[in-house]
Structure 1
Amino acid sequence: MFTTSRASRRGLALVAGLSVAASGLALGAAAPAGAASTGLVISEVYGGGGNAGATYTNDYIELYNPTSAPISVAGMSVQYRSSAGTAAATGVTALSGSVPAGGHYLVQEAAGTGGTTPLPTPDATGTVAMSGTAFTVWLATGTTALNPTADGSTTRTGIVDLVGVNSNTFETAKAAGTANATSASRTAGDTDDNAADFAVGAPNPQNAGTVTPPDDPDPTEATIAEIQGTGDASPLVGQAVTTEGVVTAAYPTGGFSGFYLETPGTPDTPGASDGVFVYGSAATAQVEIGDSVEVTGDVSEYQGTTEITGVGADDVAVLPESLGTVTPLTVPWSDLDTPAEKESHEGELVAPQGDFTVTDNYDTNYYASFTLASGDTPLVQPTDVADAQDTAAIAAISAENAAKAVTLDDGQSVNFNSAANKGTPLPWLSKTNPVRVGSAVSFHEPVILEYRNSLWNFQPTSPVTDSGADVATFTNTRTAAPEDVGGDIRLATFNVLNYFPTTGEEYVASGQGSCTYYDDRAGNHITDNTCGTEASPGPRGAATEESLARQQAKIVSAINDLGASIVSLEEIENSVKLGQDRDAGVSTLVDALNTAAGAGTWAFAPSPAAADLPPTEEQDVIRTAFIYKPADVVLVGGSKVLTGSAAFADAREPLAQGFKATGAPDSDAFAVIVNHFKSKGSGVDDGTGQGNANPDRVAQAHALSDFADGFADDLGTDKIFLTGDFNSYTQEDPLQVLYGDGYVDLQTQFNGGETTYNFDGLAGSLDHVLANSAAEAMVTGTDVWQINAEESIAFEYSRYNYNATDFYEPDPYRASDHDPEVVGLDLPAIKAPSTVTATAVPQVAIAKLTPVGLVVKVTSAAGTPTGSVTVGWEGHTKQVRLVRGYATTLVGPFTQAGLQPVTVTYAGTDAIAPSSQTVNVRVIKLF
């Protein structure tokens, strides 16, 4: 049986253990029983009409009605877009009339100059000139031109069915390309996989006069368990059935258009579920939770879920006598550790048992859903905890992740990020209920265990339109500041998410180039989408001064609350690429920090001279930088950028700087080198599960290690810290290179378990502070201040006014998408200077005959020096104890005539620095 396509949703890459986002505009697998649907599908598409080699004179789009009743298409349309299109439809053809039961509906489009055979009499006529080889078409509920990939997401509100022919937009996978003499025709049911559902062959247009009425056998009486069966699919697929049960969940609004039915009592059918979904909006309007009902409809499988479909108002009857009540299943999630175990309880009412923790809240801003992990920790990125080359360990972690994962949904298929729904308040989230990754979940009422969007879900029994506190509550794990890491100062690293003081609008106004933007629901520009060109990129941050102020307020709050003396920054504007001084961006940030913290609190490390930088055309539009507090530390020498390295042709070159405590000697300097390796989003995939461009990052790690050694030698220190966004999880190959060269990951060494990044529900660290052994000896503790990666994107400045609920606050939470890491450092004590004064009495001695007296005085502002001094002359030394800062002794006799130096050295104490003085004694010979 054909089943209509419905709203799609972003899926998790948990099972495969992916660590890289897929690119492109492909619509993911469509959601099951949910969005507005008519039952219609697109059954054939043909764009070669009238072209060379074509038989038919016109292009066409054909619809099919798989149901047993006519379906009206009044007010609907078919829409067309090119295979590379990303905007709204470029062709819309309005429909009228209806599609007969089991029949077709032919939409004639533009004619070419060739062809010999006209189409059968069309049921609707348009003028769209379709491509003969590649395109996207869809059936829409209205006549307004829609964009299936609007807002950068796979929103499909108002789209009933979609076919992508060798296109960038499709369901699951694109259908093969056609030619002038071939069409793409549906070969079987609708699995929402264009590649599987369509085949290329000779065109066969059919209009409303071509009807193949579906069979309408008498329904079979069956229990819910018999309908579900003990396998992946129902043994009664395609058959009409009558069954009865108790309504456990109902979704009359929100797009699901159905209800769950379950056999009363405690689920006890071995291997088969006692619950099933009933699809039909008219039927759902007739029932309430707790009703005992009888239902008649057709059994179908939709993306692995057994459903009773085609249920109208007359196909459901509320029974006069109750069948009883349903007892929720109370099996711990860990006991349902295989797909078969979960399948045996699909559609049943469950009371979740054991601990659950939020592991992903990205989809919260779109579909008001969370991914949960059973247990008290989020799911982990496999290569963050196991060597990426250990394929067995990686597979085991991926399998464990898949077994632990379950989605908590909101009982709706609404995409709150689409233009049509941004005015509807987002459920669950609020400023006081941020629902973070890591939040513990407490369930307060049973939910439905269901399979939807190729994921296992906990579905509330009715749509959640408020805080959902009656269904589940979440702990608030926000902290006001990092943990105490000890030490004299803190070293931190922070990716500031494309902080560009040059806004998109300023860039355009200056005449440097053009921009496209992401807008809020009122049409105001919020962030830059694309500015400039690939060869000459422009800004990529806030679009307007107002948006920049919101972004900057969050970053300033986060940095000032870090309590750090040195912060290495990543993803900050490289202003030289925008025709300004290279340090203009970081200077603007420092000004904002000082406005908030007090004048002079912060300064930045100036860039090297232009001659010591890569050519401007080779630099990226984002860069790394250092900011610091002059009251705590000062710069030692100038900064240095790695130049001339082919390894960094596609990434930001490392930036090195020496630091020491304010007032300390240069000999106390230590080196910090900030990095931003090549991202995982582009480049060659080496097949190791470490994302794209892994070989590039490995080469960059080797080059960094050599650069660090050279810089430290020039600085005169053996203490080296490597900081930044390495775009490498903790156990991946690039970090293994650095471990092999003597560096340790400080977060792993001192405080394992906290991570800086979350992708597709998997927690891991892309940001690191590494240290060689000499630098590690300075470390007193580490902390990841988890203020960003754990937060819903709804709180980010870039989503300001995206939803009717105002989530923005000028606080540190979701200032970026990476968490900052903080390291405590003990610095060498700064000693007070001392002065040695030595006087020879007399100042003349006779060689080989007379010694001289020496009077020594040692002073210091820190108090009276104690200990001893060392006196040296002509290869002799002696220790003389200080008494109240004074010492006296004899030196000589001297063996050689002339001015002979006598050196007095004070070794110092914990509080007083060493010092020395040399006096000359005149030595004469008598014979």
Structure 2
Amino acid sequence: MANLSARRWTTAASLSFVAAASLTALPAPANALSADVVISAVYGGGGNSGAAFKNDFIELANLTASPVSVEGWTVQYASAAGVVFQTTALSGSIPANGRYLIQEAAGAAGTLDLPTPDATGTVPMSATSGVVALVTATYSLVGCGTLCATAPNVKDLVGYGATANVETLAAPGLTNTTALARSGDLVDTDNNSVDFTSGVPRATNAAGVTVNAGDGPGNPTDPTPGSTRIHDIQGSGRISPIVGQSVTNVSGIVTAVRSTGSSRGYWMQDPSADADPLTSEGLFVFTGSTTPAVAIGDSVLATGRVTEYRPTAGAQTLTELGGPINTIRLTGGNALPTPAPVSLADTFTKTGSLEAQPLEPGSYALDWLEVHEGMRVTVAQDTRLVSPVDTEFGELWVTLKPAQNPTPRGGSAYVSYDDPNSGRLMLQALNGAPAANVGSTLAGGSVGVVDYQSFGGYVIQTTALGAITEGSLKPQKVTPPKKAGDLSIVTYNVENLTVTDSDAKYARLAEAVVVNLGKPDILALEEIQDNNGTADGGVVAADQTIAKFIAAIVAAGGPTYQSRSIDPNNGTDGGAPGGNIRQVFLFNPARTTFVDRPGGDADTAVTVQKVRPTSNQIMLSASPGRINPTSSAWNASRKPLVGEFRYDGDKQLFVIANHFNSKGGDYPLTAAVQPPARTSEGQRVSQATEVRNFVADLAAKSGNTARVVVLGDINDYQFSPTLATLTDNGALLRTLINDLPANERYSYVFDGNSQTLDHILISPTIKGYSYGVVHINAEFSDQASDHDPQILRILTGCGSEPLPVRCRPGSPVVDVE
């Protein structure tokens, strides 16, 4: 697959940080990222004039789901010069996903005690600039100069204010009334300036007790609305005009609450809009892993720091309140602002940097969503589902433009880079959604707030979801049965199949092979994992996984297939870590013969050889073999599997099974700069070049007589540079998906677009054939895999001109029911 099942983006604001309006690269991180324990808060103004807390403090956070012992660890503090470090010993452990509080020196002022500390020291910390290190040893740091972040045993380091002893860049300087808090979901990028924001001090201990300095006497808890309104924060562009600034007592009515996960928070909206239609009146208030103590209809005042959350590289940002949040609840049960009907322009977006251009909501779909960011909206009309409901996350996609590239089965076909289907809209049901398939109907009346997340881009977080009426979509079956000499070949991505998967998954996949695909003669399978799945340990063999699948096919009434594959080197072929996915041939020995030739292994390149120097007869140096496996084109990616088959007497056929690298890292369709960068494409083009060159060698050495089938999960579209390279612009191989009508060219559904990632390509020497995509998975909530298989039939009696009727490629589609 395209590694898009791993696409599960973190929910909004879960990695909240201040992002510049441009995507300028920052200096390289100073040290390895901490995967378990990080410094989560630093405060040095304790007991100073105007301070609420009596003591300085340092807070740690456990990022894991298990307790972490800190026995023998220390926290260490140095002044901005960072020459002499003072240590505080730690003991005990940090609870799973919990905090750990270290109390330091006290001053003469302050009125609030910290929660009961988990460790106590006497270090007087600076209220403005300094360095704090978490060290997994007891000795004091010395001699590391300004490079203490990379010193031995330093797990995490924070330099704040005017210090050069930092991870990449310094965190903001502090005052007597402000503390550092690690942003969002406690993300650690090894850049102090990105990872930390300053705001009202708040401390939490291992028992989960939290004390907020905003609650102390003499601090701003006065329930008087501040002068800053939500539309002032949102401004009339994509980036807040006051990003990075702290705001106090911003007023609004709570319109939605997210109370689960690590990206909790609430949306609020100002019921009194200003006169500017480009300024949103809604805003997300991010509380991290803390459940907000508010309810829909509450009138609240929110204090925090204006941030721009960019969920992934290249994405747009979500304007929100982040950092330490203080919320004052005034009243409950207030009327909610009237939701605006969603109205998306026919044009998806403009080109260039969106953040540098004015908003034009009447002309561009993305601009309409941006000016309503955080606001209540409604999908007033009945709509059609263009993706199956993801019941785990309550996600579904609908189309507000039903005539936009409709597929015959109810989806929206992705037909070119220039036409991403502007009518698509993602809804995420905060209260869950029932299973439903593509083509089902969502009744009008869904209401929610406009959010922005990673792959999905703009999304309506629904507080009320319309009723879903299931359509009549059915899985397809290949008909009629093949004739005696025909050869059927299938490509099928079975989505990380391993021996530890349930018998039910095996049974579903086997039923598809036997019933839906009609017992094909050859199957090229992608994503077969090793015998222990994602449990690492050096296992690379997949014989148990393959044997279990063959047995399931037999139990479903299919033939006893034989298999051929090559085990990869451990951890070199990408996919789920530890899984060692690879391509595998299954073949029915009663219908076809696999020509075994020894010598194929993970590192040896298969070559094309002539049987005799003066003949056009060719063979593989090894069968099965891998195409140039040591080429950099295959770094962290699957290497093509090549096999030689014989069928219909003694006809020779070369089959190349592929799984090109995923689209991971590509910018989303809603990217901040348009058109989106396709950063992963370069490697696929390199991979396509390797395969094209091998096919060209087969053709050249055979005198253009070799029959070749190239198939698999190419992870790219029929109109992509990858396919143009692989097929030599159609001169070397024929792209069979293009034989179908434009709105039927799909085998995968992502972001509401029905698209093609899987392909079957054939050489011109294959004269008669039939072909089709068999839709059994991608459009259904209940899936055995996230890909639909494709089938090719090479038809007998089709080797000469004039071609008989059944061999003519004018109507090549396999009949399906």
Correspondence 1:459 to 2:467: no
Q: Secondary structure at the match of 1:704?
A: helix
Q: Counterpart in 2 of 1:63? A: 42
Q: Counterpart in 1 of 2:658? A: 676
Q: Counterpart in 2 of 1:724? A: 712
CA–CA distance in structure 2, aligned partners of residues 475 and 296 of structure 1: 43
Q: Counterpart in 1 of 2:447? A: 447
Closer/same/farther in 2, CA of residues 361 and 679 from structure 1, 3 Å limit: same
Correspondence 1:198 to 2:193: yes
Q: Counterpart in 2 of 1:494? A: 491
Q: Secondary structure at the match of 2:458?
A: strand
CA–CA distance in structure 1, aligned partners of residues 639 and 163 of structure 2: 40
1:265-305 CA-to-partner distances (Å, cap 9, x unmatched) read x998532334455789999877655xxx7544447534343
Q: Secondary structure at the match of 1:428?
A: coil
Q: Counterpart in 2 of 1:821? A: 790
1:120 and 1:207 in contact (8 A); partners too: no
Closer/same/farther in 2, CA of residues 743 and 578 from structure 1, 3 Å limit: same
CA–CA distance in structure 2, aligned partners of residues 176 and 708 of structure 1: 67
Q: How does 1:768-917 map to 2 (within 5 A)?
A: 768-775=759-766, 777-780=767-770, 782-790=771-779, 813-814=783-784, 816-828=785-797
1:495 and 1:819 in contact (8 A); partners too: yes
Q: Counterpart in 2 of 1:346? A: 373
Structure 1 residue 129 displacement after superposition = 3.5
Q: Secondary structure at the match of 2:149?
A: coil
Q: Counterpart in 2 of 1:738? A: 727
CA–CA distance in structure 1, aligned partners of residues 639 and 712 of structure 2: 11
Closer/same/farther in 2, CA of residues 550 and 118 from structure 1, 3 Å limit: same
Q: Counterpart in 2 of 1:921? A: none
1:500-550 CA-to-partner distances (Å, cap 9, x unmatched) read 7xxxxxxxxxxxxxxxxxxxxxxxxxxxxxxxxxxxxxxxx233xxx3534
Correspondence 1:408 to 2:416: no
Q: Secondary structure at the match of 1:315?
A: strand
**Corresponding residue pairs, total:** 618
1:229-280 CA-to-partner distances (Å, cap 9, x unmatched) read 53446678745457576x654667887454544538x998532334455789
CA–CA distance in structure 1, aligned partners of residues 152 and 397 of structure 2: 32
Correspondence 1:566 to 2:512: no
- 2:236 corresponds, among 225, 230, 234, to 230
Q: Counterpart in 1 of 2:499? A: 542
CA–CA distance in structure 2, aligned partners of residues 707 and 495 of structure 1: 25
Equivalent AA in structure 2 for residue 674 of structure 1: I
1:357 and 1:373 in contact (8 A); partners too: yes
Structure 1 residue 460 displacement after superposition = 1.7
Correspondence 1:273 to 2:280: yes
Structure 1 residue 448 displacement after superposition = 2.5
Structure 1 residue 452 displacement after superposition = 4.3
- 1:329 corresponds, among 333, 336, 341, to 341
Closer/same/farther in 2, CA of residues 440 and 267 from structure 1, 3 Å limit: farther
Closer/same/farther in 2, CA of residues 95 and 824 from structure 1, 3 Å limit: same
Structure 1 residue 407 displacement after superposition = 3.4
CA–CA distance in structure 2, aligned partners of residues 480 and 461 of structure 1: 32
CA–CA distance in structure 1, aligned partners of residues 246 and 658 of structure 2: 56
> TM-score, normalized by length of structure 2?
0.57
CA–CA distance in structure 1, aligned partners of residues 508 and 662 of structure 2: 26
> TM-score, normalized by length of structure 1?
0.51
Q: What RMSD in Å do the two structures reach over aligned CA positions?
A: 6.5
Q: How does 1:156-555 map to 2 (within 5 A)?
A: 185-187=171-173, 192=184, 198=193, 219-220=225-226, 229-232=235-238, 238-240=246-248, 248-249=255-256, 256-258=264-266, 260-261=268-269, 263=271, 270-276=277-283, 289=297, 295-298=300-303, 301-303=306-308, 304-305=318-319, 312=327, 314-316=329-331, 326=338, 328-332=340-344, 334=346, 335=362, 337=364, 339-352=366-379, 365=392, 367-370=393-396, 375-376=401-402, 394=417, 396=418, 400=420, 406-411=425-430, 427-429=432-434, 433-435=435-437, 438-440=438-440, 442-453=442-453, 455-461=457-463, 470-473=465-468, 475=470, 479-482=474-477, 484=479, 488=483, 491-497=488-494, 541-543=498-500, 547=501, 549-555=503-509
Structure 1 residue 556 displacement after superposition = 1.0
Q: Counterpart in 2 of 1:594? A: 554
Q: Secondary structure at the match of 1:409?
A: strand
Closer/same/farther in 2, CA of residues 581 and 263 from structure 1, 3 Å limit: closer
Structure 1 residue 90 displacement after superposition = 5.0
CA–CA distance in structure 1, aligned partners of residues 529 and 764 of structure 2: 33
Q: Counterpart in 2 of 1:531? A: none
Equivalent AA in structure 1 for residue 689 of structure 2: V
Greater displacement, 704-713 / 578-587? 578-587
- 1:604 corresponds, among 562, 567, 571, to 562
Q: Counterpart in 2 of 1:556? A: 510
Structure 1 residue 597 displacement after superposition = 0.6
2:249 and 2:302 in contact (8 A); partners too: yes
CA–CA distance in structure 2, aligned partners of residues 684 and 294 of structure 1: 41
2:488 and 2:521 in contact (8 A); partners too: yes
Q: Secondary structure at the match of 1:559?
A: helix
Structure 1 residue 442 displacement after superposition = 1.4
1:744 and 1:771 in contact (8 A); partners too: yes
Q: Counterpart in 1 of 2:643? A: 656
Q: Secondary structure at the match of 2:552?
A: helix
Structure 1 residue 384 displacement after superposition = 8.3
Closer/same/farther in 2, CA of residues 828 and 604 from structure 1, 3 Å limit: farther
Q: Percent identity?
A: 16
CA–CA distance in structure 2, aligned partners of residues 137 and 434 of structure 1: 52
Structure 1 residue 80 displacement after superposition = 6.0
| Higher Rg | 1
Which runs of 5 or more residues in structure 1 are unaligned? 1-17, 34-46, 49-58, 112-116, 139-161, 167-174, 387-393, 413-426, 463-469, 501-540, 608-612, 796-812, 831-908, 911-927
2:490 and 2:520 in contact (8 A); partners too: no
Equivalent AA in structure 2 for residue 133 of structure 1: A
CA–CA distance in structure 2, aligned partners of residues 581 and 311 of structure 1: 55
1:311-333 CA-to-partner distances (Å, cap 9, x unmatched) read 656533667xx7x9736435346
CA–CA distance in structure 2, aligned partners of residues 350 and 105 of structure 1: 42
Equivalent AA in structure 1 for residue 491 of structure 2: F
Closer/same/farther in 2, CA of residues 617 and 443 from structure 1, 3 Å limit: closer
2:133 and 2:156 in contact (8 A); partners too: no
Q: Counterpart in 1 of 2:740? A: 750
2:345 and 2:363 in contact (8 A); partners too: yes
Q: Secondary structure at the match of 1:343?
A: helix
Structure with greater contact order relative to length (CA < 8 Å, sep ≥ 6): 2
Closer/same/farther in 2, CA of residues 301 and 573 from structure 1, 3 Å limit: closer
CA–CA distance in structure 2, aligned partners of residues 652 and 253 of structure 1: 41
Greater displacement, 695-704 / 356-365? 356-365
Equivalent AA in structure 1 for residue 711 of structure 2: T
Structure 1 residue 459 displacement after superposition = 1.7
CA–CA distance in structure 1, aligned partners of residues 152 and 386 of structure 2: 35
Structure 1 residue 350 displacement after superposition = 2.0
2:428 and 2:462 in contact (8 A); partners too: yes
Closer/same/farther in 2, CA of residues 558 and 341 from structure 1, 3 Å limit: same
2:711 and 2:760 in contact (8 A); partners too: yes
Closer/same/farther in 2, CA of residues 176 and 709 from structure 1, 3 Å limit: farther
2:279 and 2:371 in contact (8 A); partners too: yes
CA–CA distance in structure 2, aligned partners of residues 253 and 636 of structure 1: 53
Which runs of 5 or more residues in structure 2 are unaligned? 17-29, 32-37, 71-92, 95-99, 142-147, 175-179, 204-210, 309-317, 347-361, 532-536, 574-579, 598-618, 668-676, 806-817
Structure 1 residue 690 displacement after superposition = 0.8
1:355-404 CA-to-partner distances (Å, cap 9, x unmatched) read 86666779763x43345565457999x99855xxxxxxx5x45xx46x65
Q: Secondary structure at the match of 1:787?
A: coil
1:642 and 1:653 in contact (8 A); partners too: no
